[in-house]
Amino acid sequence: MSEPSFAFVASDTDEAQAARARLEERYASVSPNHADIIVALGGDGFVLETLHRYLSRGVPIYGMNCGTVGFLMNIYEEDGLPERLRRAEVQTLRPLRMSVRCRTGHTSEALAINEVSLIRQSRQAAKIRISIDGVRRMEELVCDGVLVSTPAGSTAYNLSAHGPIVPLGSSLLAITPISAFRPRRWRGALLPNTARIGFEVLDPDKRPVSATADFTEVRDIETVDIHEDSEVELKLLFDPEHNLEERIVKEQFQP
């Protein structure tokens, strides 16, 4: 059996670009459009961009950390890369699909691997109504915003907003308020990944709100519908000793 071909892509930072140059000099590589595996050099944000960019190809992404946090990345090491790729374990992620209607009547869709977030656009707090599977569950959330997170994204913005860390394989989605004013004690909800979540912006003229799926932002929205897209699969590769599920468990015991 022939060895899988791989390509290197890198973020714009000097560190990542220098790493790419060294690796391309050391290893035979091909174009990302023809590779069996894409090696992404950068941080978590860059690996998300890479997953989105090559979504249609369906090839696995192996990240090596040349960024800051690197939660979704493997340790950067130049030696033995082909062997690491052979040993790497696959983690399949399913993104959220965001469907938005704006105040102008325009509609659009986007995929989110980490989260969909709604954020106020003005100095005034947003007022948002929440429905689950067509049933109104909260008439009015007064807040800076609210987000829906996948398990893989639960340690990102969701965790910063004091949302729960959700283990992979739990088949759950997390709804987390951002600086909730009313109801002040509401801390969010955990829902099955089959749930369809609806947000309605109340008084959008006076209290405008934007919606962002990872890095795709839509402004001046009226409604947002979110569900896990079970037909889309994204594959990340991890060294066996640094798999994503272990990182999520480990993160819950950090001081």
Query: Catalytic positions, please?
Result: 44
Facing residues of 57 across strands?
none
Residue in 192, 159, 151, 199 with CA at minimum distance from that of residue 176: 159
CB atoms within 10 A of CB 6: 22
Residues recorded for the chain: 255
Distance (Å, whole) CA 126 – CA 143: 5
Q: Tokens 């932002």 — which residue? A: 217
Q: Around Cβ 223, how many Cβ atoms within 10 Å?
A: 17
C-alpha–C-alpha distance, residues 108 and 172, integer Å: 25
Neighbours of 2 (CB within 10 A): 5
